[in-house]
Each structure stands twice: as C-alpha cells, then as structure tokens.
A and B are shown apart, each in its own frame.
Chain A
C-alpha cells in the first residue's frame, strides 16, 4: 500500500472549554451544550451524536443557563445579565435582552414553553413572555434576599421552586408571591458550613421538590407543607446539577467529585403501588465537577469541567442492544481546527482567541516501518496571532501556498498576507474588507491560492480573487430562494472549476466557478455531512456522513460513481459503521487516483478503490504486516480499507506530498494536565 514519512505533531496545545450547561430537546432529539467560554454547541442525538452546529463564544458572555422553548427555540442567559436567543438556521445570535437584574444564574421555560423565567443576582425572579420573534418582560416575582441559583416549574405551570442560598422558595406564578420558604440545613458532615448553596431544584407534578446543594445532599421536600421528606447524603462535595426524566420516574444528579448518581422511583415491595426514590446507580465517568446533567428518554447525559460530554444509555430503556447502547464520550469538536499549507509545510492551529503558525521540521534519514527518524530540523513556531476583541474565532484557513491566512470572528473577517524572506516572516493585514465580509462560517482557498471562498451566514458564498496585497470580489452565490441555511463545509476542486458547499441538513450544492452558476445538487441524505472533498482529475466529490457512510459523486456526470453504487449495494463493514467519531477530513493522493484518505479521531484510513470491498466476515483492521505468507493469501485477504490506529486522538491528518503525511494528535493526558486539579479523594491512611 505504501510507506510514508509521518510528521507526528503533538504540540497543538488545544484544551476544550469545560461544559457549563446542557439542555435536551425531546422533540428534535437534540442536545444543546454550552461551555465556559460561551460557546454553544448543538448535537444531533439521532445522527450518531454529531455536533452539527455551534455558536462561537464570547469572553464576556459566560453562559449560566440554557433552555429550549416551544418551537425549538434556544435561549441562554449568563453573568452579563442578558438573555440570548440563537438562530439555529443562520447560526448566529438573534437578539440579546438585558433582564436588568444583574448577572443571571438560572433560567427555566414554562411547561407549555411560552414563558421564560430567570433568576438574578439581586434575588429577583423575572417572568418573560416568549413572543414569536422576541421575548417580552412581563413581571417580577417577590424579591428574595440573595441570588436565585436554580429554578423549576411545576408541570402544571402554577407554581415554581427557586433555589437560593440556604433556602428554597416556592412561588405561586399567578400572584408572584412566595408561598413557602424552606430552609436547608447548613450542616455538612456534622460541621456547620458557612453557606448551603442550592445548585439545583426540580419540581415534580406530585408536589415534591427535589433539591441538590453544596453540602452533598439530595433532599425531597413536600411543597404543600414546606417540609423535608427525605434526605440522601451522596457526596462529600457539592451536588451541582439535577435533571428529571419526562415520566418523573427517574432523575440524575452530578457531583463535584465527578460522580453521576441515578435515582429511580421504585416500588417499595413487589406488586405494591407505594413507590419511593432509590439511589440506584453511580457512574464515574468524569474526573472533575459535573456541572450539568440532562436526562433523555434513553440516556443520562453529563458534562463538566473535565470537558467531556458523556452520554450513558440506560440499559433498561434501550430496546435493541446494539452499538447505540454503548457509552459515548465526546471530547473533541467535530470540525477542523487545523489547516495546512502543503507547499511550505506549514500548519495553522486555531484556538479560541488566537492562531498559531508552525513550520514542520525535516529529516534526511530513512527507515523502516515504526522507526522514529532523527530530525535534521525541528518544527518552528513561526507566528502567534491574537484576535482583537472578546469574540472567539469561528474558522480559519491558510492558503496552500502559505502566503495567505484568513480567519473570522462573529463580527469581523481578517485576511493576512505572509511574506517569507529566508527565515524571516512578515505579516501584513489586508485592510478594507468589504462590508459583506463580516462573518464567515467557513473559509477556503483554491488549490493555486488565487481564489478565496467564504461561506457567510445567511447562506451566501463569496468568491474573491486574491492579488498581491489586495483582492477583488468576483461573485456571490446566493442561497436557493426560500432557504436560509448556512453552509458549514466547503470543498473546491484542484483544477479550480468546482466548488461544493454543504449545510447541516440539505444536500450538497456544487457550483461551477467558471460559469458562476449552480451546477447541481447532490440528493439530500438523512444524516448531516461531516466532511467533503473533490478528487483531482476525476472531479469526483467524496462525501462523508455522520452515520459513517461515504459516497462518491461524479460532478461532471451528475451522478454517483460506480464504486459508490457498489459499496452502497454491498454495505460497509459493520465495524466501520460502529465507529463513534465522525470523519472530519478527506484528502487524495496526487499520484494515485484510486486512493481516498480519510480520518476520524481514532483512526486514519486509505481506501483503495481498486481492491475488493471487505464483507462482515473479513478482518477490517489488521495492524500486523503480512508475514511470509504466499502472495496468493495476501492478495485474497487484501481489501480496500487500509486502516491505521497508531495516531490518536487524531485531530488532523493530511498528505503533504506523495510520501509524507502530517498527523496532529492531542493526547488526553496533556489536556487533563492542563485542567485544574480535581477534588482529592483520600485513598488510605489518616
């Protein structure tokens, strides 16, 4: 198959932000996740847990609460005191409304989905009416003396529970007055702590209020009498989050020790109707605080400071014991943070607030499989480019020739010209960007670095000709009438004739750049596109979907290729379909047109279209080199998928030239090392 020199890069110092909130939407089976840097991500749980959308973070916008309202509208609130609604089509912020109550700590949507309640720093609980295009402040509830950290509606919508510091209040929604005030014991393991923070409350339809607090307690209250019914001490540290299932027969809590506890309502004795809450299962999938939990009908979802999003299916709720019943741990974004200049062997790393440009080293030595070659030149850190302003970088790209760098935040687009003089490098910003180039979701340079393609939100695609130190706007492909879906993925053919663009749900559009018109649309597929690329010479468009299917579509012929039809007919190997990270990058070998290179976070694969396809009985992944077997056996067992799992977690892999690969890894240990230390647990001794 071939021997490669692999530049194994581990200096991409990327640390994902911790997870702050998760919100599960039952109708669309989507999960919204907000991180401590303000980023909000949308995962489609039906599409193999693919992260299909994201909203870039903002330094001043620490999200404290996230919730879905009627019509799949997503709201967040944070410490800047604003309530934000997100536009899930255009992938931008629709509007922000100041609640005028200081930092917002909590937010809850009414059971009918038409009212929004926020709990503020000043102790006020504010009710907003959700109108079709905005939210409207309605009134304040009785003001409490300290911040409102948690809120929960009674399913009938008549009462709410509000967790504060040291007490829980129950309000009647109609009057807005506090009905009960339930004091929470400050005692913590016999020692009086200063304060007991109610991190979460849940109001059940039978009037029970469940509270979780900083003293490690899960408490059950009777809201009618305002009395404590039951107390579970489950942790030596804070219990930080709670989520109840829709049926109210189970709930989940997360603790600062990284443990997630599952509580279930079970019968006291068999065939008795009396039921009680029992702590059934502990899960320890996190090392740090579990700041947020969610309860989907079939799974417990948790996230926290250790940046993993953990989806733990409940075995009793999963009907088919297939691969979907397995635990999922999502750590890395399902999009590319790295781009590469093949010509100059440069790598551009994208961080939240800066870019880094590195030049790969080189070697003159050769070796055999598995050897580490001595470096004649080490990798260089060429550039550290900080963004201006508080906004996170959405996307970035370096041109194949290495002379251009472009990146975009929510409000500004930046283009830089790089000049190389021997070892010196100079950077020159291209000023006076046109007004329409304000925010880009995806940036791509053509293979010869003369054209720049920008996918803006609102669905338009801009084509710009790059000249020495300046640029010229060529054309804007407008979205199809009636659609506003943003394009997230772009691919350009090496000959510069074709541009493919894909949104999150609709099909892939192929534009003819010469004639500046839409050439064709690849039929829409049920699962979102995770990566796409156009092969040289043949102009075959290769599309990877989140259900691990790979299609090959001939652009000139406007139809799927024969190979693609064959593999669809035969089906992929079951192990291939069971991989749980999406393919994030596809590339091609310049000299071997039959080869397709693609990778996900845990493997890298070269598909040789000339070889037979594997069936379910064949060994898909064979790491061992063929021994002295006869050529016949080797030929018989060889199949199209050549897989390597040496590099993981693999964030980026590309072919620099015929014999050279670059692989960017981000070991989990390095990420953990940069996290704050977890709560220390005593192992033995005094």
Chain B
C-alpha cells in the first residue's frame, strides 16, 4: 500500500518562488546524496537523511546556471552548464567553480542526462544528442540541427533499456507535440506525433514516462486534469517514417481542470503515479498518489503554501517545492493486499498534518474527483457518497436486486462497489448472503455462473463452507478447479465428502483442461526443474504485491512444457503435471479432515487415480527426505506428517484394490521397504535409548556429590 511519510524541509535558505527558484534535483553517485540546482548561481549537495548540505558551489556574478547539475556516475564528478554553452566539471574537493575544468561548446545545451551505467548524455536545444566524452574530446565540434524552426523541447528523460541508454524528448510546435526517441544501441532517432484524440482543446502540461521492455509508457497531464498514457515503441519498425501514436485516458480528473501552474506528474512504479496540483479548482495544492491499475487515490498530502509544478522522484523520496523551501516526502509502497488496494487501510496520521481522507474513488472514470470540504461541488459529492458509503444496507439491497436480474458484468461492477465499502461487523454474513443469492440464481438459471464475482467474494477471506453450502457443489458441478482450489485454501470447515469429491476431480480432470485453467502455483514453483530458470534471463518485474492474472501465464506454460520424462531419474520426477500437483498439494493435503469420515469416501476413488495420487505422495516424501529438515521447499508446503497421513489413509481405504493393480506393485514395494527401514530405525533407537539411559545414570552419579563432605559456608 502506497503511503507518504512525514515530510521534511531540505533547504533552510528560501528559494525564489516559481519555476525559476529551482532548476532541478539530481542523484549523486552516493546514495542519499542529491544535487540541488538553484535557479541562478548555486549548486548544493545535500545528504537527505541528515537534512544537511555537504557542499555548495556557485558561479561568478554575471554568469547564470542554465541546466541542472548532474553527477557523472562513471567518474563521480559533477557537471553543470552555465550561460547555455559553458560546461563546468568539478568534484567535491573543488571549492571555486571558476577554477575548475571548463569547456565551451558551439551550441546551446538543453539538458545533460546522467544515469547509472552509462556516460552523461548532452541534449542540445536543437535536438542533437552527444555523449559527454565525445564532446569533451572536441568541444567546438559542429552540432547538427534536428528540430525544425519554432519547435522547442518541452520535456526529456533517459532510460536504460537492455544496458543501453534510450533518450526521449518531447517537442512542441504550434500546439502539436512530437516525441523523439534516440536509441544509442542502434544510433537511431525516431519521431512520433502525439495524437491528442478527441480532447483537442486541452493543453498538455506535464509529462512523465516509464519504460517496459518494448515500450516507453509516456504519461501526460493535460490541462483538463486527466492523465493520458501513450505507448511508444522503443524499436520502431520503420525509423524513418513519421509515426503517430494515440494517447488513451489513464486517470480522470486528478487535478482541477483549470489549474494554471503548479501541476506536475511523475511515475513512481508500475502502478503508482504521483500528481502535484490542486485537486479541485479552489482547493490548495496537493501531492496525491494514485494507483493507475485500480484508479484509486492511495494517499495525498496537502501543500498549503503552494508549489511550483516541479516534482522529482529518486529512490523513495519525492522532492518538491513547498512554499519557498525544498521539501522531501519519503514515499513507501509496501506489498498490498487486494483489500488494501480496493479500499483504504487503516493509516495512522499525526494530528498536525492534514491529509485528504483516503477513500475509494470508483467514480474517477465517470468524471468525479475527490472531495474536499470547502467547495460546493464537493459538498454535493460528499452527500452522494454518504449515501453510498455510510449506509450499507441500501447498497446491499441494491446489489441483491442487481444479482436477481442484471448481467454478470453489472454484478461485478456492483460487487466491486459494495466490497469497497467499509466492513461492518456482520460483513461475513452479508457476503454469505450474496453468495447464496448468486447461487440461487445459478440453480434457477444454469447458464448463469458469475465466476469472477464468486472468486472475488471468496477472496474476502470471510467465507466458510457453512456460510455458503452450495458454493463448492456448484463448483464441483462445473469442474471449476480454480474455484475449488481457492475454496479449499480459504474455507476452514469443508466436510470430508466434499474434500474427497474435490480430490476426485483434481485427479480425474484431463491435462488439457487443466492447461486452460488458471491455478495458483505458488507452492510448486520450485518443485519443477531448472528448465524454467534457464529460460528466464530477465528478472521478473515486481508487481507491487499484486498478483496480476497474466503474470502466472508465462511461467505456467513453461512448467507445463516440462514433462516428467525430462528428469533424469524415475524416482525424482513428479508423476503429475505441476498444475495438478499444485491442486493436490495446495488444496487437498492442507485441508482439515477426520480420518473416520474421510475413509469411506476415499474408497470411491478409482484405482488408477489412487495409484497416481500415491505415486505423487511418494514423490513428495522423497522430496521431503532430500533435505535435513524434512520439509518441502516452497510456500506453505505440506508437512511430512500430512504426507504420511495421506499415504496411510489411501492405503487403508484402498489396500485390497491397490494390491491387485500391477502398476502399483512397484510403489507398494518401495513403501514396504520404507516402512521396514523405519522399523529398523526404531528398533535401533530403542537400543540407543537403553545405552543413553546408562549414560544418564553415569552422569547422575557424577553429579551426585559424595555421601559425605565438609564444605565451607559463609552467610551474609
């Protein structure tokens, strides 16, 4: 869950207000140290955690810094540009900027980019890009002109993609925006026209971008207050052609539409963006964190003294101008739960800092912003929301009526709304009622199977078997293994007969149909062999604790491709495909049962399935015994006892059958050998026990003092 921590002020010196006050904040080569360039003449190196400056440099009177100072990560030196053309390079030991290395270039510099892993890149105002080394070798070299007349660079950023820098800059000419992508691996410059779509009137005010493997996701904040996303391919198919990219709406009305200044946007991670600006026309400026995936406001912080529309984000710290001071707000995004992402988490806030209340804004896509107390519009919204939020019964009834007649899609939407509401003490019974209602409709109308809604309800963690008796039966009927798995994991009170029915389905479902389903493979990911690891050379993208559905697909497929015969030894290969293994292992082995009630049901399982399950259990046992702690790797592995109990149960229930099956003979023999060895161990242990007892006796005798001794005692 994204959260903003307590803010603090970095500079004690008041800065000039407005965009001229602060040119930029850049990372230095040491963590926690940042270069802050003041508009004008000064560069200060701050240590953020200590909130104190480590060094300060200024240019001579009459000179003016035109581009924020950066750090060359390869040499540890600092670079600054003054008077558009003059480069100064120095390090922390230098005192006077006048006396440090100086290079005068032939063209005006727009910005120097420096990121870890590559040399600094210099972007000229005319659109040309040079590496710093090449420039310094020949400072007066001719710089070509890339941009046309009247075309000015509005924004620029550099990324590392596959260890090569990729530079993007946005230009504007007569209200049209163009994006240029300069790749250094292939030395290509591609140009894109940003197509505004319907909202022709709006003016783009701010940009930010993040990079995927193949696309740069460019986000822009328009004057209508919405955030748009544009996907720009890094490697264009035809670099020479001028291509058009279309932007799409990502977040609606994150800032007031008419905000003139102080609006900024920056990407925090895959799902979160930080937005600076007034949320409502008349309100004070705010820093807000939005989740783009759920379109929810995660947290926000009011900046009553105004800000400058500049926002930087480096390594967990957000930098912005608050009033006349540079302010740092540490930002943390912890692993969040679904509930946390959907609703709000309890958040301790100190009484001093006023924060906009966190709430779920399901209406963002419909054009409503979030509320504050002092505008008429917000009052109206608040009233509306009160009806929805604080009075759950109408919402519940509305949901029930939706369930009765509407389509699955509508139900899902209504359900999402409902679940976002604060939980009441009787939340579980309400959820149970909803499930029963859904199931009721399912029975009368067999084609109606609101799978997604049911899954969502199960994942509220409040359901139990007894609260919704028909649910698992329905899932069994539909052979919905994913749902069954979820139920088995979540419900504490499943009767043995149902567990056994699930087991039957898990064992009998064909591999093909398994392949189509999505199953939580968490616990068996490690069980499969190294094949998967070799395939993946890129690290997986961390998803902010949220398990996207598509995330598992790749690895699932890979796992599916891996067949038992791949493994070298027969004993160590898993007898079932990983998905089935996941079902059995996650769901069945962990389920609670009472032997007496389970045994009769186990007898009904067909013999070959019993054999298969036995083989799998035996395989698990062998896996278990591979390490000293006798545990299986992975998340929530079944314990050795659980495995053993299931083996015993299966054999108890089906022994006469299993004995007759030729293919089970080997398995039984190995089990027999195993038991025999265990008996051997026990008898040896018994022998050892006797020896140990003797040792203990000897030890006691040693401890026992003599029958008679004279000792010295002093009483104090």
A residues whose Cβ falls under 8 Å from a Cβ of B: 1-11, 360-363, 366-373, 375, 378-379, 606, 622, 624-626, 642, 644, 646, 661, 667, 669, 683-686
The residues of A that contact B705 with a CB separation of less than 8 Å are: 8, 10, 372
**Given the complex of chains A and B, what is the CA–CA distance between A641 and B535 in angstroms?**
79
- A684 and B704 within 8 A (CB): no
Closest 8 CB pairs of A and B: A369-B714, A685-B682, A1-B715, A11-B707, A3-B714, A642-B715, A367-B712, A379-B708
Known: A1-B714, A7-B710. 7 other contacts (CB 8 A): A1-B716, A8-B705, A375-B710, A669-B700, A685-B682, A685-B686, A686-B682
Most buried by A among B686, B706, B710, B714: B710
Query: Of residues 677 to 715 in B, which have CB atoms within 8 Å of A's CB atoms?
Result: 679, 682-683, 685-686, 689, 700, 704-715
Across the interface, A683 reaches (CB within 8 A) one of B689, B704, B707, B713, namely B689
Complex Cα gap A2–B716 (Å) = 7
Q: Which B residues touch A622, using CB under 8 A?
A: 716
Question: What is the bound-complex CA distance between A9 and B710, given in angstroms?
Answer: 8
Q: CA–CA, A498 to B706, complex, Å?
A: 41
Residues of B within 8 A of A683 (CB): 689
Cross-chain contact A685 with B685 (CB below 8 angstroms): yes
B711 / chain A contacts, CB cutoff of 8 Å: 5-6, 8, 370-373
Known: A685-B683, A685-B686, A686-B683. A373 touches B710 (CB 8 A): yes
CB contacts (< 8 Å) of A363 on chain B: these are 710
A-B contact pairs, 21 of them (CB 8 A): A1-B714, A5-B710, A5-B712, A6-B710, A6-B711, A6-B713, A8-B708, A10-B705, A10-B706, A11-B707, A11-B708, A362-B710, A368-B712, A369-B714, A370-B713, A371-B711, A372-B705, A373-B711, A375-B710, A625-B714, A683-B689
Q: Which of B679, B704, B714 has a CB less than 8 Å from the CB of A2?
A: B714
Whether A8 and B710, one on each chain, are in contact in the complex, defined by CB atoms closer than 8 angstroms, is yes
* Contact assessment for B682 and A369 in the assembled complex, using a CB-CB cutoff below 8 Å: no
Report which of B685, B712, B716 forms a contact with A642, defined as CB distance below 8 A: B716
Contacts of A368 in B (CB 8 A): 712, 714
Measured between beta carbons, the chain B residues less than 8 angstroms from A360 are 708
Q: Are A3 and B708 in contact (CB under 8 A)?
A: no
Check A375/B716 contact, CB under 8 A, given A685-B685, A686-B679, A686-B682: no
- Interface size in chain B (residues, C-beta < 8 A): 20
Task: Report the minimal beta-carbon distance from A684 to chain B, rounded to whole angstroms.
Answer: 7
A377 to chain B, nearest CB (A): 10
Whole-angstrom CA separation of A236 from B714 in the bound complex: 51
Given contacts A685-B685, A686-B682, contact A369 B713 (CB under 8 A): yes
CB distance from B491 to the nearest CB of A (A): 27
Known: A11-B708, A361-B708. A684 touches B685 (CB 8 A): yes
Which residues of the other chain, A, contact B683 by a CB distance below 8 angstroms?
685-686
Which residues from B are CB-within-8-Å of A11?
707-708
- Enumerate chain A residues within 8 angstroms of B714, measured Cβ to Cβ: 1-4, 368-369, 625
Query: How far is B706's CA from A361's CA once the two chains are assembled, in angstroms?
Result: 13
Interface of chain A: mostly helix, strand, loop or mixed: loop
Q: How far is the CA of A142 from the CA of B710 in the complex (A)?
A: 66
Q: Complex Cα distance A288/B532, Å? A: 62
User: Are B710 and A372 in touch, CB under 8 angstroms?
Assistant: yes
- A375 lies within 8 A of B709 (CB): yes
A641 shortest CB reach to chain B, Å:
10
Least CB distance, A426 to chain B, in whole angstroms = 25
Report the Cα distance A444→B554, complex, angstroms: 97
Bound together, the chains give a CA A370 to CA B707 distance in angstroms of 17
* Residue contact B686 to A373, C-beta cutoff 8 Å: no
Task: Please give, as numbers and ranges, the residues of chain B lying within 8 Å of A361 by CB-CB distance.
Answer: 708, 710
- B residues within 8 A CB of A626? 716
Which residues 201-242 in B have Cβ within 8 Å of A in the complex?
Answer: none
A371 with B715: CB separation less than 8 A: no
Query: Given contacts A1-B715, A684-B682, are A667 and B710 in contact (CB under 8 A)?
Result: no
Indicate if the CB atoms of B712 and A606 lie closer than 8 Å.
no
Contact of B713 among A4, A366, A378 (CB under 8 A): A4
Q: What residues of chain A lie closer than 8 Å to B689, measured between beta carbons?
A: 683
Distance in angstroms from A103 CB to nearest chain B CB is 39
Determine whether the beta carbon of B712 is less than 8 Å from that of A370.
yes
How far, in angstroms, from A390 to B495 measured CA to CA in the complex?
70
Distance of A366 Cα from B710 Cα, bound (Å): 10
Q: In the complex, what residues of A have CB within 8 A of residue B679's CB?
A: 686
Looking at the complex, which one of A362, A606, A667 makes contact with B715 (CB distance below 8 Å)? A606
Neighbouring B residues of A1 by C-beta, 8 Å = 714-716
Could you say which residues of chain A place their CB within 8 Å of the CB of B706?
A: 10
Cβ 8 A contact of A646, one of B700, B710, B713: B713
CB of B598, distance to nearest CB on chain A (Å): 25
* Chain A residue contacts of B700, Cβ below 8 A: 669
CB distance from B679 to the nearest CB of A (A): 6
Q: Give the distance in Å from the alpha carbon of A51 to the alpha carbon of B479 in the complex.
A: 75
Chain A neighbourhood of B682, CB < 8 A: 684-686
A685 to B688, CA, bound (A): 12
* Interface-centre pick from A372, A625, A646 (highest chain B CB count, 10 A): A372
Give chain B residues whose Cβ lies under 8 Å from the Cβ of A661.
713
Q: Tell whether A3 pairs with B716 under 8 Å between CB atoms, given A667-B704, A686-B683.
A: no
Chain A residue nearest in CB terms to B684: A685
How near does chain A come to B333, taking the closest CB pair, in angstroms? 50
| Bound-complex Cα distance A362 to B710 (A) | 8
Q: Which residue of A lies closest to B708 (CB)?
A: A379
Q: Are A9 and B708 in contact (CB under 8 A)?
A: yes
CA distance A626 to B685 in the complex (A): 50
Separation of A622 and B716 alpha carbons in the complex (Å)? 8
Cβ–Cβ < 8 Å partners of B709 in chain A? 8, 372-373, 375
A133 CB to closest chain B CB (Å) equals: 50
Q: Contact flags (1/0) for B664-684 with A, using CB distance below 8 Å?
A: 000000000000000100110
Q: How far is the CB of B715 from chain A (nearest CB, A)?
A: 4
Check B712 against A371 for contact (C-beta < 8 Å). Answer: yes
Which residues in A have their C-beta under 8 angstroms from that of B704? Answer: 667, 669
Q: Name the CB-closest residue of B to A646.
A: B713
What distance in Å separates the Cβ of A365 from its nearest Cβ neighbour in chain B? 8
**Cα distance A667–B706 when bound, in Å?**
12
Residues from chain A with Cβ under 8 Å of B707 in the complex? 9-11
A378 to B711 Cα, complex, angstroms: 13
Residue pair B713, A644 in contact (C-beta under 8 Å): yes
- Shortest distance between the CB of A5 and any CB in chain B (Å): 6
The smallest beta-carbon distance between A75 and chain B, in angstroms, is 42
A6 and B712 within 8 A (CB): yes
Identify the closest chain B residue to A11 (Cβ). B707
Contacting residues, chain B, for A6 (C-beta < 8 A): 710-713
- Known A-B contacts A684-B682, A685-B686; A10 and B713 likewise in contact (beta carbons under 8 Å): no
The residue in B685, B704, B712 that gathers the most chain A C-beta atoms within 10 A of its C-beta is B712
A369 touches B708 (CB 8 A): no
CA gap between A349 and B707 in the complex, in Å: 15
Bound-state CA distance A201–B503 (Å) is 52
A10 touching B708 in the complex, CB below 8 Å, given contacts A669-B700, A686-B683: yes
Task: Please name the residue on chain B nearest to A661 by beta carbon.
Answer: B713
Complex Cα distance A588/B679, Å?
65
Docked complex Cα distance between A684 and B707 (Å): 36
A contact residues around B713 at 8 Å (CB): 3-6, 369-370, 644, 646, 661
Q: Are A7 and B685 in contact (CB under 8 A)?
A: no
Closest to A683 in B: B689
What's the minimum C-beta distance from A349 to chain B, rounded to whole angstroms?
A: 13
- Residues of B with C-beta under 8 A to A646: 713
Chain B residue at minimal CB-CB distance from A12: B707
* Bound CA–CA A441/B555 (angstroms): 91
Contacts of A370 in B (CB 8 A): 711-713
Q: Report the minimum CB–CB distance from B76 to chain A (whole Å).
A: 56
Contact A369 B686 (CB under 8 A): no
Collect the chain A residues with CB atoms within 8 Å of residue B685's CB: 684-685
Cβ distance B71 to chain A, nearest Cβ, rounded Å: 58
A667 surroundings in chain B (CB, below 8 A): 704
Tell me the complex Cα distance, A293–B55, Å: 86
Distance of A367 Cα from B713 Cα, bound (Å): 9
Residues of A within 8 A of B710 (CB): 5-8, 361-363, 372-373, 375
